[in-house]
Amino acid sequence: MSELEFRKAIRDALDEEIERDSSVVFFGEDVAAAGGVFMTTPGLHEKHGSGRVFDTPISELAMAGAAFGAAVTGLRPVIEIMFGDFMALPMDSLVNQSAKFWYVSNEQASVPLVVRSAVGAGGRFGAMHSQIHGSWFQGIPGIKVVAPSNPADAKGLLKSAIRDDNPVIFLEHKRLYSVKGPQPTEETVPLGTAAVAREGTDISIVSALRGVRDALEAAEQLAANGIDAEVVDLRSLRPLDHETVLESVAKTNRVMLVEEGTRVGGWAANLLGIVAAEGLHDLDDAWIVATKDTPAPYSPTLEDAWLPGSAEIARAVRERLGVAAASS
Amino acid sequence: MAGTQTERAHERQDRPGESPAEYLDRYGRMRLIRRFEQEIHRLFLKGEVHGTTHLSAGQEAVPVGVCSALEPDDYVAGTYRGHGHALAKGTHPEALAAEMLGRATGVCGGRAGSMNVIDLEHGLVGCFGIVGGSIAAATGAAISAQRQGRVAVAFFGDGASNQGYFHECLNWAQVFDLPVVYVCENNFYGEFTPMASVTAGGEIGIRAASFGMQSQVVDGNDLWAVREAALEAVARARGGEGPTLLECQTYRHYGHSKSDPGKYRPPDEVERWLARDPLDLARARLLDLGLSGDDLAAKEAEIDAEMERAVEGALAAAYPDPAEDAGTEYKE
């Protein structure tokens, strides 16, 4: 069977869920007629009609609020907030309305909605089109945060997110859209479960989104140095599957967390705290590789240096383990 | 002008929903809200109501008039000054009082408190502690309502008309012809600040014109005027003709919240508005329409007794037990 492209995985998941459940509606800026600025949703409007798939005004706050109000009255909205950076605008509705409704209402009803966004740096988009809002939302009870790293997971996780009865923030890394990978083997992938993307014995490299792909590349480079790295793909940031991470650390005794985001206040620091609290006895070494503490720069030289890529991941592991780089 | 309105009321009273007896029930609902707010005020001073609370006494004609134009399964979103919104839509006074008191029998089990009441059984999709939040909630509910043959209403204050929620959602609703009625309860103060000093354009109703939306400025202390405007707006929404903005001008009798005695309001202004107490106006109108003082006294006694039972029941209820009510983060 042919490989699946990440953007096609997103499109297919939406298409199949809109088809499957008449309460699913999908709206956002330029998602219908234009098919999405990252070409993730072409043809959905034509196939399912304006009642199910429609373009909205550039009004992110109204969009999230409309999704909330629709979700508590019987619909299952999926919205696209085009770039993750724009998530600062609808935050009130998502944080104060959608996230709190189930608990504060004394469980009268939940808020089944999904907010998809393109996230991440490396596309030379500059400081206001390159952020990842996963860590902004990770500390909010009631919300789920999903962060796929490959096409099969993206499809299965998005289908799970749409079927989930709770508000889900769904992150799509821009530098994954054109990635191709194996077709999914399962219809859905459960939210809140991490996966071991590569087995190894010497160190656990934990990441999410594009970072997993970089970590897998780094692991291949490290194999040439005789270092056998395990790569853990978190897949969700909330609920956070720290059990899988702890199991991996119990095996390797070392953990490096790779986050495209800042060291302070990021998911990696949070997870490292949990690993220290619950798995200190298994740890010989633990550290974080993150971005610099500045906004994402524009210039290619600056942005490449700002991002933790596969070369930096491999270098950091070798340095920490005291292994010299293999001569090429 | 009052005579003209009474004449119109006389003309209307043969129509369904317009009989004096039905208005007597609406007057009763207004009195229930007034008595509720008085009781919450008293219980707050006794330390039984916690945190803060925003009372709507003086504004009762707006939610009662608007909700009288709705069907039971229509949707309403209210504000942190929302006790009247909930009671007008049908929330049980005892369940609402118990919520204020933080009791397990509260409409949200004591998890919500005064500012965040939700009562889906009665179509109340929520009261929102953030200024303007109700506007979005009703706009979204209207997306569902459009498919269900229902209508959604947002209550909000004059202050919310300066929020992004207002401008984004009114544009949205007009673009998609949503069956929603935006009801601005203009009480002329955003917290402690006079509306005029922070709101451009003089009135809020005219803002609808920039969206091509129907609007009306309404005497928010006149139950008959509010109901008439609401009936028209709701019919428009249900008929697929899109949203309406109603600016209902009214006044709150208490300060903004419990920390506010309202001293920034000129005494003569307060006097003027107290002289137009919506309950007094409704009472006078009902007498004018032929009801007797005894009819009104009987309704008032019935409501007062209902309120007394509600408070007694709420005070007798247990607090939620943290050991039993851990709550879950997600719906599984």
Chain mean position to CA B2? 24
Query: How many Cα atoms are found within 13 Å in the side-chain-facing hemisphere of B46?
Result: 10
What pLDDT digit, counting tens, does each position of A98-114 carry? Answer: 999 999 999 999 999 99
Collect contacts of B100-103 with beta carbons under 8 A, ≥24 apart. Answer: B100/B40, B100/B43, B100/B49, B100/B53, B100/B314, B101/B43, B101/B48, B101/B49, B101/B314, B101/B315, B101/B317, B102/B50, B102/B319, B102/B320, B103/B314, B103/B317, B103/B318, B103/B319, B103/B320
* CB-CB neighbors (< 8 A) of A97 in chain B: 126, 128, 133, 136-137
* CB-CB neighbors (< 8 A) of A86 in chain B: none
- Region A72-92: what's the mean pLDDT? 98
- Region A74-100: what's the mean pLDDT? 98
**By percentage, how much of chain A surpasses pLDDT 70?**
99
Q: How far is A179 from chain B (nearest CA, A)?
A: 32
Where are any strands of DSSP class E within B18-148?
A: 75-79, 124-128
Q: Does A177 contact chain B (CB < 8 Å)? A: no
Q: What pLDDT is attached to residue B7? A: 73
Q: Which of A68, A77, A109 sits opposite B120 (nearest CB)?
A: A109
Q: What pLDDT is attached to residue B16? A: 87
What pLDDT digit, counting tens, does each position of A18-32 carry? Answer: 999 999 999 999 999
ipTM: 0.95
- Residue B51, CA distances (Å) to B9, B79, B103, B255 in order: 42, 16, 14, 15
Q: CATH topology of A4-181 equal to that of A195-321?
A: yes
Q: Does domain A195-321 have CATH number 3.40.50.920?
A: yes
- Mean pLDDT rounded to a whole number for chain A: 97
Homologous superfamily (CATH) of B2-7+46-316 is Thiamin diphosphate (ThDP)-binding fold, Pyr/PP domains (3.40.50.970)
Taking Cα atoms as reference points, which of B193, B123, B126 lies closest to residue A100?
Answer: B126
What pLDDT digit, counting tens, does each position of A111-160 carry? Answer: 999 999 999 999 999 999 999 999 999 999 999 999 999 999 999 999 99
- What residue spans define the domains of chain B? 2-7+46-316
Answer yes or no: do B327 and A103 touch at CB < 8 A.
yes
Answer yes or no: do A108 and B120 touch at CB < 8 A.
yes
* CB-CB neighbors (< 8 A) of B143 in chain A: 25, 66, 69-70, 73, 75, 77
Q: What pLDDT is attached to residue B4? A: 65
- Residue B319, CA distances (Å) to A81, A104, B110, B323 in order: 41, 16, 8, 12
Task: Name residue B79's amino acid.
Answer: T
What pLDDT digit, counting tens, does each position of A21-76 carry? Answer: 999 999 999 999 999 999 999 999 999 999 999 999 999 999 999 999 999 999 99
| pTM score above 0.90 | yes
Per-residue confidence in pLDDT tens, chain B, 332 aa: 445 666 776 777 888 899 999 999 999 999 999 999 999 999 999 999 999 999 999 999 999 999 999 999 999 999 999 999 999 999 999 999 999 999 999 999 999 999 999 999 999 999 999 999 999 999 999 999 999 999 999 999 999 999 999 999 999 999 999 999 999 999 999 989 999 999 999 899 999 999 999 999 999 999 999 999 999 999 999 999 999 999 999 999 988 887 788 889 999 999 999 999 999 999 999 999 999 999 999 999 999 999 999 999 999 999 999 988 778 999 99
- What residue spans define the domains of chain A? 4-181, 195-321
Q: What pLDDT is attached to residue B8? A: 72
Q: What's the topology of domain A4-181?
A: Rossmann fold (3.40.50)
* CB-CB neighbors (< 8 A) of A105 in chain B: 108, 111-112, 118, 120, 126
Instruction: Say how many CB pairs under 8 Å bridge A and B.
Output: 141
Q: What pLDDT is attached to residue A328? A: 45
Q: What pLDDT is attached to residue B292? A: 97
Answer yes or no: do A107 and B138 touch at CB < 8 A.
no
Where are any strands of DSSP class E within A73-219?
A: 76-83, 114-119, 144-146, 168-173, 180-181, 195-198, 203-207
Catalytic amino acids of A? 129
